[in-house]
Amino acid sequence: MNQLTTADPPAEDWWINIADMMTGLMMLFMFIAVAYMTSIQKTATSYFDMQKSLYEDLHNEFKSDLLKWKAVIDPKTGTVSFKEPDILFLPGSSVLRPGFQEVLIDFFPRYLLIVRGKKFEESVVELRIEGHTSSAWLSQVMPDEAYFKNMSLSQDRTRSVLQFVWANVKPEDRVWLKSR
């Protein structure tokens, strides 16, 4: 007599077990994906909230000075840009003008108080000083030479600003600045 025992399930039943297992795995992976997306969304929201807060703090600190410095703060990045080239450097030079030195003496310590404050110290991972170029020699040299002169001038201007602010910050700020 041919009898089925509990150890021998019908041939079709094993497909149901595999389908149930695959459904369970798919649900598990879906939950992992949803948890990951939620985590990423919280991180992005936190980043944008921090960015907005940084802009607001910078704007509140410098709003009365921005016009006289001819400076702007980018709300998306917190970048402070000084827009008046005549106050910064002489054309074709990396020597800081006295007026810009006064601006930096007023600006940079206040800026550091904000970005080094408890609210942002761990979030700010990079401070960048950018030096832009001059059009003074565009008519005097070939375009390729002007390109390399401007690259060198940009780096020299950046270095001049960094050296000036470095000389005017507290020694305890220098360690933090080096890391950024």
pLDDT of residue 4: 54
pLDDT band for position 23 (50/70/90)? Answer: confident
Predicted confidence at residue 13, as pLDDT, reads 62
The pLDDT value given to residue 9 = 57
Long-range contact list for 107-114, CB < 8 A, 24+ apart? 107/62, 107/65, 107/69, 107/80, 108/165, 108/168, 108/169, 109/168, 109/169, 110/61, 110/62, 111/58, 111/61, 111/80, 112/169, 112/173, 112/177, 114/54, 114/57, 114/58, 114/61
Whether this model's pTM surpasses 0.75:
no
Confidence class for position 166, pLDDT limits 50, 70, 90:
very high
Q: Measuring CA to CA, which residue among 63, 46, 167 is closest to residue 114? A: 63
Residue 180, pLDDT score: 83
Q: 73: helix, coil or strand? A: strand
The pLDDT, as a whole number, for residue 76 is 86
- pLDDT at 12 (0 to 100): 62
